[in-house]
Structure 1
């Protein structure tokens, strides 16, 4: 297969190719990019959604700044993986109705959740649905694309990235998350305010990342070799009580209301632990007891995202996608905030790229278990992903992170080995569940398992609770 001389050839297998979010971001990024000549194979159990994205991809190809990417729907995962250079995975484990149960059942026991997709009762049960699927995807990659680089975009990211390594230890996989972008954007805003003009964006900001996905921290913030941490600490202290956001959302802007925050949790964690929190407040709050932030979330400047909004928002995205596919809307070659296109280009030999990613711990994060999935910076260079030694977290914070990491890896081990009776004690040990009586915690777990049993392996559903 021949490509234009103006782009480096890359074959991308997209698992979950009917995606309404990440797939369209990648299409826009490929249209904006001038480094790659991509062939993208779209595989999805919803064939109609993948077919729609094939049509959308062709329209993005028509506005490309470089060599137009080519999109093709395939019927089998094996067809997508054949000779793939890169595999991208973004799937929804279950339906929004299942996510509604993940949120509403714990709420009935007095446990609020802002997101419910990473830790806490919602994240735990979501992992039960997704890990068996990822174990099978890992086998398919092992058998049909063992040399491919694999990017996981699906939550709960730590557990699911670990599941791919569990099945295929030699896999070249990373988990990609944009949450750290939030502190980089804030640091750029502080620098621009000091300069009195907009000179920099978040890509100009370098941070040293430590933690696990959605519970990430940074102990260095630099801009062109300037240490921005003193300015950031002062800004956080000045806004600790009222919080801060760049602009207030319009009254009818539900997306901003439910997905943005005032950074008060972020600033408070800096005060508590002496290290800057990087992820968004909605995620950070779920790693700590509900009494810390979740039960008084309004006072802390963030909301609990209702599933009915997620359903409405999904329908808005679906309508937008249908308009793109039918030429009622025009595609634009606009670069997203995601790092994936730069990571792929670097792996294909187009320079060097550094960004935060989720990888097995080979010692890059001190204090956490080896092989646990941790989030630090890594260098992407032709044919290589190399984690950067990040150092360690403050002792009190390290204890919290280690507790979550071991629970995540324990969950994965239980599912991979079929030891389903060990799941309930792990579930009950989460900080959001610990305050319940043992009876209520087990009752909640049984209720959540029953609500999603149709999406679980039969023996898991029968034995877990």
Structure 2
């Protein structure tokens, strides 16, 4: 049972008008009940931040919390003197994201998500890195001692951008994708027990890789390592996939965001190590002929921007009612996000071990220092410290390492305004290279032109 003592914090939420993640944090704080203080919401859309502040305050009042939500008009007023910063921004707009998917698709390049690697991931990084560097500079100026959690994709390069702009920043990138594997391990352990004894939080996994291309070589729960059992289970279900509960064909969210673990099981069977992220993310790091070109056969969806728009419109209407309605805003169920647990650990002297993205200082062998890698990280009263994870098997490292090196170069090139390097990276991307040089170069210029208004002047010229 949690202690009833309460930690008083001040937290700045950059992107505080969010219709999803900001409200997830509000609900998780209500469920946790051990955090008090002020949450400052900053957003380029001030009205959206003000709406969320009203919703947050109504929730706090209804549930007896002493958390105050305010909307900040400037990033300076949001950040000054805070203990924590959360960064959750949309790099560009859904129209930009649509172009990230549609222009490559017209050339035969399929992307399931398009926010991390591939042509969509690279162009999104071009939009987002300059903005993240500006945020880091503001943190350096107004909150240099704050702990900073980045929730924004592309996770690796944007977490790297924070450190590139402010090397002494105390930041990590937070992603929930590894949770998918932990759920399966807990299910296996419960099946063996004949009763539900474990949840995913009881499962401790050793994580290696980069964001959305993560792997696990140990998985402990109930006092033993379940990885051998998982590998056997993956081999048994390699052909048809598996879910603890079948996908609901009428549920659009499940259709576009969930999967039957068939990619994970296939990779586990090939390489003898568990691939951890969701199938739609894993597939984008690999040749299109492996999975992407046969996504429906492999049991994962391609997330359309049109669905995101419809979902955003629904969330906006729900938020309007939550802000102005007579009833208490509905409380979301507790999420599977780690952020509140991380805040608890850092402020209360508790310890939490969970996967996070941080620059490599030796926690992962085989990757250059400074490369943003995803491993386990210890959160405690002593701060945020990556845990030694070891090394990927050689065959898997040969798949992961080139992406990590590309991400390092993308970050450096965007910050330097080095268009020639960015075009070369685009042309050599594993999903783009089959087009050939001329078609790939034409696609690159078209994608830059489509998002030019979001780019710094040096990069905007690449569309010429």
TM-score computed with the length of structure 2 as normaliser? 0.97
Partner Cα distance (1:251, 1:394) in 2: 37
Retained in 1: the 8 A contact 2:355–2:374?
yes
Candidates 93, 113, 119, aligned match of 2:91 = 93
Partner deviation per Cα, 1:365-420 (whole Å, 9 max, x = no partner):
11011101000001001141111100001112112211111111101101112222
Please give the root-mean-square deviation of Cα atoms over the aligned residues, in Å: 1.4
Partner deviation per Cα, 1:255-291 (whole Å, 9 max, x = no partner):
0111000101001111122110000000000001111
1:261 lines up with 2:275 in the alignment: no
Partner deviation per Cα, 1:42-101 (whole Å, 9 max, x = no partner):
000001100110011012202436x43110001000001011000000000111111000
**In the alignment, which residue of structure 1 is the partner of 2:30?**
31
Retained in 2: the 8 A contact 1:32–1:64?
no
1:178 lines up with 2:194 in the alignment: no
**In the alignment, which residue of structure 2 is the partner of 1:188?**
186
Candidates 222, 239, 242, aligned match of 1:241 = 239
Alignment of 1:61-210 (within 5 A): 61-64=60-63, 67-210=65-208
Alignment of 1:197-236 (within 5 A): 197-236=195-234
Partner Cα distance (2:160, 2:269) in 1: 32
Partner Cα distance (1:64, 1:355) in 2: 29
Partner Cα distance (1:201, 1:19) in 2: 29
**In the alignment, which residue of structure 2 is the partner of 1:50?**
49
**In the alignment, which residue of structure 1 is the partner of 2:10?**
11
Secondary structure of 1:391 counterpart: coil
- What is the Cα deviation at residue 329 of structure 1? 5.9
- What is the Cα deviation at residue 38 of structure 1? 2.8
The number of equivalent residue pairs is: 460
Partner Cα distance (1:388, 1:267) in 2: 26
- What is the Cα deviation at residue 442 of structure 1? 0.6
Secondary structure of 1:303 counterpart: coil
Partner deviation per Cα, 1:128-174 (whole Å, 9 max, x = no partner):
11011011101100111100000000000000000010000000000
Distance of aligned partners of 1:362 and 1:304 in 2 relative to their CA distance in 1, 3 Å threshold: same
Secondary structure of 1:38 counterpart: strand
Q: 5+ residue gaps in structure 2?
A: none
Secondary structure of 1:252 counterpart: coil
- What is the Cα deviation at residue 332 of structure 1? 2.1
Partner Cα distance (1:82, 1:184) in 2: 38
Secondary structure of 2:348 counterpart: coil
**In the alignment, which residue of structure 2 is the partner of 1:319?**
317
**In the alignment, which residue of structure 2 is the partner of 1:270?**
268
Retained in 1: the 8 A contact 2:162–2:169?
yes
Partner Cα distance (2:189, 2:223) in 1: 13
Retained in 2: the 8 A contact 1:31–1:63?
no
Retained in 2: the 8 A contact 1:31–1:68?
no
Partner Cα distance (2:165, 2:120) in 1: 24
Partner Cα distance (1:415, 1:164) in 2: 13
Retained in 2: the 8 A contact 1:348–1:383?
no
Moved over 4 A (4+): none
**In the alignment, which residue of structure 2 is the partner of 1:410?**
409
1:368 lines up with 2:363 in the alignment: no
**In the alignment, which residue of structure 2 is the partner of 1:389?**
388
Secondary structure of 2:442 counterpart: helix
**In the alignment, which residue of structure 2 is the partner of 1:436?**
435
Partner Cα distance (2:373, 2:295) in 1: 27
Distance of aligned partners of 1:331 and 1:68 in 2 relative to their CA distance in 1, 3 Å threshold: farther
Secondary structure of 1:297 counterpart: helix
Alignment of 1:301-380 (within 5 A): 301-327=299-325, 328=327, 330-332=329-331, 334-380=333-379
Partner Cα distance (1:60, 1:176) in 2: 25
Partner deviation per Cα, 1:314-357 (whole Å, 9 max, x = no partner):
11222222222123563326421000000011111241111000
Partner Cα distance (1:209, 1:402) in 2: 15
Partner Cα distance (2:380, 2:5) in 1: 20
Partner Cα distance (2:97, 2:263) in 1: 24
Partner Cα distance (1:443, 1:310) in 2: 28
More displaced 10-residue stretch of structure 1: 135-144 or 397-406: 397-406
- What is the Cα deviation at residue 463 of structure 1? 3.5
Retained in 1: the 8 A contact 2:445–2:462?
no
Secondary structure of 1:190 counterpart: helix
Retained in 2: the 8 A contact 1:60–1:333?
no
**In the alignment, which residue of structure 2 is the partner of 1:284?**
282
Retained in 2: the 8 A contact 1:51–1:73?
yes
Partner Cα distance (2:305, 2:139) in 1: 33
Partner deviation per Cα, 1:299-320 (whole Å, 9 max, x = no partner):
1111111111111111122222
More displaced 10-residue stretch of structure 1: 354-363 or 398-407: 398-407
